[in-house]
C-alpha cells in the first residue's frame, strides 16, 4: 500500500502547486498596488490629494517643489482623445471588413499583419514617429516643433489599432449565423446586414474593444515620450508639446532621489495610472462577458 | 440611394480603413530596412560600443536583451502554464476562479511603466537586488505572465473533453490525465504563447528603465546581479539622449530590434497555423 500513499502525496503536492500558481496572479495585482502605495503615499504627508490632482504646476525640482499633476492629466487626456478619434472609426471599419467581407485567405493575411503591428516595440514606433511624422507635421502646420500632442495622437492611434481591431473582430465573428441568414432572407444586401444587424449585435464587444484600446493608449510610455515634446504645461491646442503621466515617470525617475518627495510623487502618478487602467479594464471585461452571452 | 451602390461605396471605405491599419507595418519595415541595412555588419553586431556609443557595435545590448528575455521566460512559463492548468482543469466557476481571471485581465492592462515602478519598489529596493538582470527579468516575467496564461488556457481548452474522460475511465488520476492526455496536445499552443511572451519582453523599454538598463556599459555582465545594456533602451538612448550619432547606426539598431521581435512573432504565427492544420480532431 505504501507506493500508493506516496503517489497520493505527490498528487496532493502537485495539485496544491497548481492552485498556488493560479492564486499568484491575484497576489501580483495586490503586490503592485501595495508597492505603489508604499512608495507613493509618503507624498501626501506634506501635500493634499486635491493639490496633487488639481494643482496647475508641475515643478518637481524647483524650491519649494510643486507637485500638481493637472497639466500631465490633461496632456494624457488630450493625446488619448486624439488617438481615439483616429483609431476608433478606422479600427471598427477594419474589423468589419476583416470579419465580414474579406475572403478567407486575405483575412488570415490581414490578421497576421495586424498581429505584427501589435508586436512592433513601442520604442521603434516612437523612433519612426519622431523622425518621419514629427518633421512632416512641423512643415504642414508651419510650427516651431513637430513634437506635439497631435504627433502623439497619430502615433498612439496606430498602437491602439491592433487591440481595437482584434477584439472588435472577435465580437463580430461571435454574432450568430442565424442573424445574417435571416437578414439576407428578408432581402437585405450584404452591407445592410453587416451594418444594421451584425454591427449592432456586436456593439457590447466593440465597446469593450474601444475601451481596451484606450487603456492601451493611456498606459503607453516610450513612444509618447519620444514624440510629444514633453512640456509639462496645461495644453490649449493639439499643435503644442504636451507631457503625459507615463512619460513623466519614465523621464524623471532617473533624476529623482530615492525616498524623496519627487520620487514619491512619481509613484503617486503610478497609483493614478494603476487606478485608471484598473477601472477601464474591469468595465471592458464586464462588456466582453455580456457580449459573449 | 440604390442599395447595390451603397454597398459598393461602403465596402470600398472599409477596405481603405483596413489598408490604413495594415500598410503602416510595411511602411515602417521599408523605412527601417532601407535606412538601417547599411549599418549591419559583423562588427556592428558582435563588437563593443566605443567613443560614447558613436562608434563600434551593439553587442552588449543584444546579449543583455537575450539574458533578460531568457530570465523572464524561466520565471513566467512554469508559473503561467500551471496557472492555466488551474483555470482550465481544476477550478469550477466559483469566486476564486473569477477573481483569478479578473486579476489576469488587470495584469494585462497595467501600463508598462507601472511595472517598472513596481520592479523598482519590490526587486531593486525591497529585496535589495539592485538594478540588475535579476530585477529586470522578474519585472518582465510578471509583465508577460498574462500573455502566457491566456495562450496556454486557449491551448488547454482546445483539447477535446473526451480525451480526459477516456483517460479517467481507464483509472488514471486527475494529474496523470493532465500530464499524459492533455498537456502533450496543448504543447504547440503553449509554445506559441511562450514565443509571443519572448517577443513582448524583448521589445519593452519602460519596465527595464529603472530595474536594469544601463545607459552606456561597454562590457558584458558577469552575473545576474549586474546591470546590462538592452536593445530597446539603447535605441531610446541613441535616438533621444545622445546627439551626433550617425543616422544609419540608429536605424541599424532599430532594424536589429525589429527583426528580433518580428521573427519571434512570425515563428509563433507559423507554429500556430501549422498546428491548426495538423490537428486530428
**For residues B2-18, average pLDDT:** 90
Q: Within 10 A of A196 (CB to CB), how many other CB atoms are there?
A: 12
Return the H-helix or E-strand segment holding B61.
Answer: helix B59-85
Q: At what angle do helices A104-119 and B3-36 cross, to 10 degrees?
A: 40
Interface of A with B in 92-151 (CB under 8 A): 93-94, 96-98, 101-102, 108, 110, 112-117, 119-128, 130-132
Q: For residue A2, what pLDDT is reported? A: 59
Q: Does the pLDDT at position A217 exceed 70?
A: yes
Averaged pLDDT of chain A: 90
Query: Is A128 close to B28, i.e. CB distance below 8 A?
Result: yes
Query: Is A116 close to B210, i.e. CB distance below 8 A?
Result: no
Q: Does the pLDDT at position B132 exceed 60?
A: yes
Q: Does the pLDDT at position B280 exceed 70?
A: no
Percent of chain A with pLDDT strictly greater than 70: 98
Q: How far is CA B104 from the centre of its chain?
A: 16
In tens, the pLDDT along A161-172 reads 999 999 999 999
C-alpha cell at B149: 496564461
**For residues B148-159, average pLDDT:** 92
Residues in chain A: 293
C-alpha cell at A292: 459573449
> Is A242 in the B-facing interface, judged by CB distances under 8 Å?
no
Averaged pLDDT of chain B: 89
Q: For residue B38, what pLDDT is reported? A: 87
Q: Which residue has the higher pLDDT, B80 or B281?
A: B80
Given A226, A249, A273, which is nearest B240 (Cβ)?
Answer: A226
CA distance A265 to A96: 43
Q: Does the pLDDT at position A45 exceed 90?
A: no
CA distance B178 to B277: 23
Chain A residues inside the 8 Å CB shell of B13: 93
Closest B-chain CA to A39: B121
In tens, the pLDDT along A107-138 reads 988 988 898 888 899 999 999 999 999 999 99
- Whether the CB-CB separation of B152 and B190 falls below 8 Å is answered with yes
Closest A-chain CA to B124: A258
Q: For residue A263, what pLDDT is reported? A: 93
DSSP lists the bridge partners of residue A66 as: A59
Interface test with A, best of B113, B143, B241 (most A CBs within 10 A): B113
Query: Is A254 close to B206, i.e. CB distance below 8 A?
Result: no
Q: Does the pLDDT at position A293 exceed 60?
A: no
Given A14, A110, A195, which is nearest B175 (Cβ)?
Answer: A14
Q: For residue A292, what pLDDT is reported? A: 60
Q: What is the residue extent of each domain of chain B?
A: 58-278
Query: Is B209 close to A123, i.e. CB distance below 8 A?
Result: no
**For residues A34-55, average pLDDT:** 89
Q: At what angle do helices A70-96 and A203-219 cross, to 10 degrees?
A: 140
Chain B nearest CA to A183, separation (Å): 14
**For residues A19-38, average pLDDT:** 93
Q: Does the pLDDT at position A267 exceed 60?
A: yes
Query: Is A36 close to B114, i.e. CB distance below 8 A?
Result: yes
Q: For residue A286, what pLDDT is reported? A: 85
Chain B nearest CA to A9, separation (Å): 12
Q: Which CATH class is domain B58-278?
A: mainly alpha
CA distance B222 to B217: 12
Query: Is A18 close to B82, i.e. CB distance below 8 A?
Result: yes
Cis omega (within 30 of 0) for bond into A64? yes
Indicate the range of A81-95, A254-268, B49-63 predicted with least confidence: B49-63
Q: For residue B281, what pLDDT is reported? A: 62
Three-state DSSP state, B213:
strand
User: What is the 8-class DSSP label of residue A41?
Assistant: G
Chain B residues inside the 8 Å CB shell of A254: 209-210
**For residues A141-150, average pLDDT:** 90
Q: Does the pLDDT at position A234 exceed 90?
A: no
- Whether the CB-CB separation of A43 and A67 falls below 8 Å is answered with yes
Chain B nearest CA to A65, separation (Å): 21
pTM of the model: 0.91
CB contacts < 8 A (A, B):
265
For residue A230, give every residue at least 6 positions away whose Cβ sits within 8 Å of its Cβ, in sequence order, or none: A147, A241, A242, A243, A247, A251
Fold adopted by A50-292:
MetI-like fold (1.10.3720)
In tens, the pLDDT along B165-214 reads 999 999 888 889 999 999 999 998 899 889 889 999 999 999 999 998 88
Q: For residue B100, what pLDDT is reported? A: 92
Query: Is B110 close to A121, i.e. CB distance below 8 A?
Result: no
Closest A-chain CA to B256: A124
C-alpha cell at A17: 502547486
Q: For residue A256, what pLDDT is reported? A: 87
Given B24, B82, B110, which is nearest A117 (Cβ)?
Answer: B24
Q: For residue A291, what pLDDT is reported? A: 64
Amino acid at each position: 500500500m505504501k507506493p500508493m500513499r506516496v503517489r497520493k502525496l505527490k498528487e496532493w503536492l502537485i495539485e496544491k502547486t497548481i492552485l498556488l500558481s493560479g492564486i499568484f496572479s491575484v497576489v501580483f495585482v495586490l503586490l503592485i498596488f501595495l508597492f505603489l502605495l508604499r512608495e507613493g503615499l509618503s507624498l501626501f504627508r506634506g501635500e493634499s490629494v486635491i493639490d496633487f490632482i488639481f494643482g496647475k504646476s508641475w515643478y518637481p525640482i524647483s524650491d519649494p517643489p510643486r507637485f500638481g499633476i493637472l497639466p500631465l492629466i490633461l496632456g494624457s487626456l488630450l493625446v488619448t482623445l486624439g488617438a481615439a478619434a483616429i483609431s476608433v472609426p478606422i479600427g471598427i471599419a477594419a474589423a468589419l471588413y476583416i470579419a465580414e467581407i474579406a475572403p478567407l485567405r486575405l483575412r488570415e493575411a490581414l490578421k497576421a499583419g495586424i498581429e505584427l503591428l501589435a508586436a512592433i516595440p513601442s520604442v521603434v514606433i516612437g523612433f519612426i514617429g519622431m523622425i518621419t511624422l514629427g518633421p512632416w507635421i512641423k512643415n504642414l502646420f508651419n510650427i516651431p516643433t513637430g513634437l506635439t500632442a497631435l504627433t502623439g495622437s497619430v502615433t498612439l492611434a496606430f498602437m491602439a489599432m491592433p487591440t481595437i481591431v482584434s477584439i472588435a473582430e472577435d465580437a463580430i465573428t461571435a454574432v450568430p449565423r442565424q442573424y445574417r441568414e435571416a437578414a439576407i432572407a428578408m432581402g437585405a444586401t450584404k452591407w445592410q446586414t453587416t451594418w444594421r444587424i451584425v454591427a449592432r449585435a456586436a456593439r457590447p464587444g466593440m465597446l469593450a474593444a474601444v475601451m481596451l484600446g484606450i487603456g492601451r493608449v493611456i498606459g503607453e510610455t516610450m513612444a509618447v515620450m519620444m514624440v510629444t515634446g514633453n512640456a509639462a504645461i496645461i495644453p490649449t491646442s493639439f499643435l503644442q508639446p504636451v507631457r503625459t503621466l507615463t512619460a513623466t515617470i519614465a523621464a524623471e525617475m532617473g533624476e529623482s532621489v530615492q525616498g524623496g518627495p519627487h520620487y514619491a510623487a512619481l509613484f503617486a502618478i503610478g497609483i493614478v495610472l494603476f487606478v485608471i487602467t484598473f477601472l477601464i479594464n474591469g468595465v471592458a471585461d464586464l462588456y466582453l462577458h455580456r457580449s459573449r452571452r | 440611394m440604390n442599395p447595390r451602390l451603397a454597398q459598393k461605396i461602403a465596402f470600398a471605405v472599409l477596405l481603405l480603413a483596413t489598408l490604413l491599419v495594415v500598410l503602416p507595418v510595411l511602411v515602417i519595415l521599408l523605412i527601417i530596412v532601407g535606412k538601417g541595412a547599411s549599418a549591419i555588419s559583423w562588427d556592428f553586431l558582435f563588437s563593443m560600443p566605443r567613443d560614447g556609443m558613436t562608434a563600434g557595435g551593439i553587442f552588449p545590448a543584444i546579449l543583455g536583451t537575450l539574458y533578460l528575455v531568457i530570465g523572464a521566460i524561466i520565471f513566467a512559463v512554469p508559473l503561467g502554464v500551471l496557472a492555466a492548468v488551474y483555470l482550465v482543469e481544476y477550478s469550477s466557476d466559483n469566486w476564486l476562479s473569477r477573481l483569478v481571471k479578473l486579476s489576469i485581465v488587470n495584469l494585462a492592462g497595467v501600463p508598462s511603466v507601472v511595472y517598472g515602478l513596481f520592479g523598482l519598489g519590490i526587486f531593486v529596493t525591497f529585496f535589495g537586488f539592485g538594478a540588475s538582470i535579476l530585477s529586470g527579468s522578474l519585472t518582465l516575467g510578471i509583465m508577460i505572465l498574462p500573455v502566457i496564461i491566456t495562450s496556454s488556457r486557449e491551448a488547454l481548452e482546445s483539447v477535446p473533453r473526451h480525451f480526459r474522460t477516456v483517460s479517467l475511465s481507464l483509472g488514471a488520476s486527475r494529474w496523470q490525465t493532465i500530464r499524459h492526455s492533455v498537456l502533450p496536445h496543448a504543447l504547440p499552443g503553449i509554445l506559441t504563447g511562450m514565443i509571443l511572451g519572448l517577443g513582448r519582453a524583448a521589445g519593452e523599454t519602460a519596465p527595464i528603465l529603472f530595474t536594469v538598463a544601463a545607459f552606456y556599459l561597454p562590457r558584458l555582465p558577469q552575473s545576474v546581479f549586474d546591470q546590462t545594456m538592452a536593445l530597446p533602451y539603447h535605441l531610446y538612448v541613441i535616438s533621444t539622449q545622445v546627439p551626433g550619432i550617425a543616422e544609419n547606426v540608429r536605424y541599424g539598431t532599430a532594424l536589429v530590434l525589429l527583426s528580433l521581435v518580428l521573427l519571434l512573432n512570425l515563428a509563433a504565427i507559423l507554429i500556430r497555423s501549422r498546428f491548426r492544420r495538423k490537428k486530428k480532431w
